[in-house]
Amino acid sequence: MYLAAFASYAAQADALVGPEGILPAERALAQAAETLGPVERWLRVPTLCWLGLSPQTIAAAGVLLAILLIAGVAPIAVLPLCWIAYLSLERVSGVFLGYQWDSLLVETGFLAILFAPRAWLLHRDRSPPPPIATFLARWLLFRLMFFSGVVKLASGDPAWRDLTALEYHWWTQPLPAWTAWFVHQLPRAAHLLVCAALFVIELFVPFLVFFRSERVRIAAFAALVSLQAGIAVTGSYAFFNLLTIVLCIPILDDRMFRRDLPPRVAGRGERIALALGAAVILHGSIGMTLVRFRAPALPGLALSQAFGVSANYGLFAVMTKTRPEIVLEGSADGVEWRTYEFPYKPGRLDRRPRFAAPHQPRVDWQMWFAALGDCRRNGWLLSMQRRLLEGADPVEAVFADDPFDGTPPAFLRTTLFEYRFAPPGSSDWWVREPVGPYCPVLALDSGGNLVAVE
């Protein structure tokens, strides 16, 4: 999962946070440095970028570290470095690394340090992980799944309460795969049944992960993995589904596969380190759980959040029932307009929806969120348009193709459309209706400032 996350980010880092990117990391660091002292900045914005390392360098190093981890080389040293590297990227990437699975990877990465074998080569250490580490992994999985069910009911959304949410989900989710079109055609009863099963898995099955019975935990494992597999085959949620399946592995017991594992005998120093690490994780996760139920925040909770040790989880609290899409177009003369096609999000009506996971095209995803809001509240989108008008090569690379062959347009416009899956028998995958302008027509003035064109 680290390899997928680092490699995906590295491929987009220049466009997202590079010097000519949409939200330059150096600008975010400069703003933080203006208000935070030399020590406070490390506590509030913990990132290796304070040492002068660029996000691109950190991501590339993360890829190498992940490969070492897969090869089983020095996990006790590599795992903390992977955690620090991804935390560093998350803290300087703004909205582009603000997804729940990014938080989940940071929290899981910290927890994984407790699992790390103490041998320098993985195959030389066959002892089981400490019981506290296994418990904390199950506790994290419980929080992730249980609160994903709770937020759906707590939101008051009638589509979840009457089990009709999945009648909208398949075509309104951020990046549906082509398989979602076929699932959408199933009878209404099937959608209701699957939605009911989803609530059973999210609200009741998580309790089974703590049972002593191996058979009960195997049943929980099968149910949770089946849910993640079902989500993964109909949409692209980066590495979230695979990472959740990884978290399901500690539900199982090594003794189910091997009966000759030696007991682990930990030294005093190791026990102290494990106890401290477990205390930090429990403090953060319990604190976030209390916050979820509107209880007062525990002391030090903000610090736990800053270092990614604890996070709130709960996906799709409210089901979107429409699919607004922003179509971005450029023009050299204000008369003829050419469309910027994104590689994964819906655009051309005849283009088949694609799978992207475990890669996450961050701009495609952000366009989905932007379409649900308005132009003024999505400063990153205005920044992206400015970069396109300036002819910034890194930003042009986020699109499926460049309609202007390297020459920047003089004007950009964004139009909002309502998309839906095309009906059976159509030669297209989508149908759409225009809604109206999203942002004003934009251009650069003589001073290089972004201005609206009347």
| Sequence spans of domains, the chain | 1-98, 127-321, 324-452
pLDDT value, residue 266:
55
pLDDT of residue 254: 73
Predicted pLDDT of residue 281:
66
pLDDT tens, 68-91?
Answer: 999 999 999 999 999 999 999 999
Q: What pLDDT was estimated at residue 290?
A: 59
Structure tokens at 12: 């987009």
pTM of the model: 0.90
Instruction: Report H helices in 54-213.
Output: 55-70, 75-92, 100-115, 131-154, 158-161, 166-172, 178-184, 188-203, 205-208
Distance CA(49)–CA(88), nearest Å, equals 7
d(Cα 146, Cα 53) in Å, to the nearest integer?
A: 38
* pLDDT tens sequence across 30-52: 999 999 888 898 888 999 999 99
In this prediction, residue 205 carries a pLDDT of 96
Residue 200: count of CB within 10 angstroms of its CB: 12
pLDDT for the residue 292: 58
Structure confidence at residue 257 (pLDDT)? 65
The string of pLDDT tens digits covering residues 107-140 is 999 999 998 887 888 877 777 888 888 999 999 9
pLDDT of residue 117: 84
| Strand 430-437 to 324-331 pairing | unpaired
Q: Please tell me the predicted confidence (pLDDT) of residue 126.
A: 74
Measure the CA–CA gap between 359 and 339, rounded to whole angstroms: 24
**CA 342 – CA 339 distance, rounded (Å):** 9
**CB within 8 Å of 101: residues ≥ 6 apart:** 237, 238, 239, 240, 243
Low-confidence ranges of the chain (pLDDT < 70): 256-271, 273-274, 277-278, 280-298, 300-312, 314
- The pLDDT tens digits for 289-303 are 655 555 565 676 666
